[in-house]
Chains A and B, each alone.
Chain A
Amino acid sequence: MRETIYWLLNIVCAVVILVLLGLHMGIMHLDGVLAALLNTSGHPLAWENMLERAGSGFFKSTYVLLLATALFHGFYGLRTMLLEYWSSPRAEHIVTVMCWAAGLTLFFTGAYVTISFGPGAV
């Protein structure tokens, strides 16, 4: 049952990532094309633009959601690959605990940065 829930969550996360990371990649990597099309200016990584996004509840919440879904999807995939090569009940337990530990550490670090950064924070 646990594996079914993991698998279902993995698929749901993939769909969420597709939308949110698509948006993120568009803003960050197609900025030149989008700026030309939408007639906007400024680099997305410029300090002022980052502060502007950090002040937006929409960007903050989508960053945290993207972080959670991407980490779950990524570590679920890594766990699947590791268990293909190293599978025993003990290995499964160790790999699962390590993936959760790494994922949660990265999530809390990233979420802290996202939530605490904003106009007036630095």
Chain B
Amino acid sequence: MKQITGNSNRIGIWRWLMGGRHGFEGYLYVLHRISGVALLLFLSMHVFFTGSRLLGQETWERLMSMTRGPVFVFLEYLVYCAFIFHAFNGVRLILIELGIAVGRPDHPVFPYRGSIHKQRPLMIVLMIVTGILIALGGFDLLRFPH
């Protein structure tokens, strides 16, 4: 029998892609981590990028003109999407952490109903809100291009 040592219960980076045993919530877990790392990278660059305004209006406007290309605008939209997803999935995680919307404990009577199923309506509602806000951001981008 394989002995469990150290961190052998971790799922590993490649198995993030499998979603684990938790179905859709498993993918949300993976996306939450990916979006979190992406947002941290963006924030680090953002701090130095916005610092260029201390060099004056001309430098700032030259830098801003570089950000008006379609690739940059699309990347900016991805950052917006990452934030919206991370925020609303984060709300779900905080509510679950606080014991809200996880259902009451009950007897294990067949057919078993796991906690994941009790949390699912909350996940569906929050992901619909996420989808609406991401669509609204896309509408803003297409309707009111900078």
Contact call A30/B47, Cβ cutoff below 8 A: no
A75 vs B139: C-alpha distance when bound (angstroms): 32
Q: Is B64 in contact with A25, judged by CB distance below 8 angstroms?
A: no
**A47-103 at interface with B (beta carbon < 8 Å):** 47, 50, 67, 70-71, 74-75, 77-78, 81, 84-85, 87, 102
Q: B residues within 8 A CB of A47?
A: 57, 60-61
A115–B143 alpha-carbon span in the complex (Å): 34
Is the CB–CB distance between B7 and A29 below 8 Å?
no
B101 interface hit (Cβ, 8 Å): no
Q: Is A18 an interface residue (CB 8 A)?
A: yes
A105 CB → nearest B CB, Å: 9
Of all chain A residues, the one with the shortest Cβ separation from B144 is A32
Q: Which of A43, A70, A81, A87 meets B43, CB within 8 Å?
A: A70
B48 within 8 A of A: yes
Q: Is A122 an interface residue (CB 8 A)?
A: yes
Main secondary structure of the interface of B (DSSP, over half): helix
Determine, out of B19-27, B90-98, B106-114, B122-130, the stretch whose residues face the partner at the interface: B90-98
**A15 lies within 8 A of chain B by Cβ:** yes
B144 near A33 with CB under 8 A, answer: yes
List residues of chain B with CB within 8 A of the CB of A116.
54
Q: Please tell me which one of the listed residues A77, A106, A113, A121 contacts residue B36 in the complex, with CB atoms under 8 A apart.
A: A77
Interface residues of A in 9-39 (CB under 8 A from B): 11, 14-15, 17-18, 21-22, 25, 29-33, 35-36
Task: Give the interface of B toward A (CB within 8 A).
Answer: 6-7, 10, 13, 33, 36-37, 39-40, 43-44, 47-48, 50-51, 53-57, 60-61, 64, 76-77, 80, 83-84, 87, 90-91, 94, 97, 136-137, 139-140, 143-144, 146
Can you pick out 17 interface pairs between chain A and chain B where the beta carbons lie within 8 Å of each other?
Answer: A11-B97, A14-B90, A18-B91, A25-B83, A29-B77, A29-B137, A32-B140, A33-B144, A36-B144, A43-B146, A74-B36, A75-B40, A77-B33, A77-B40, A78-B40, A113-B53, A117-B53
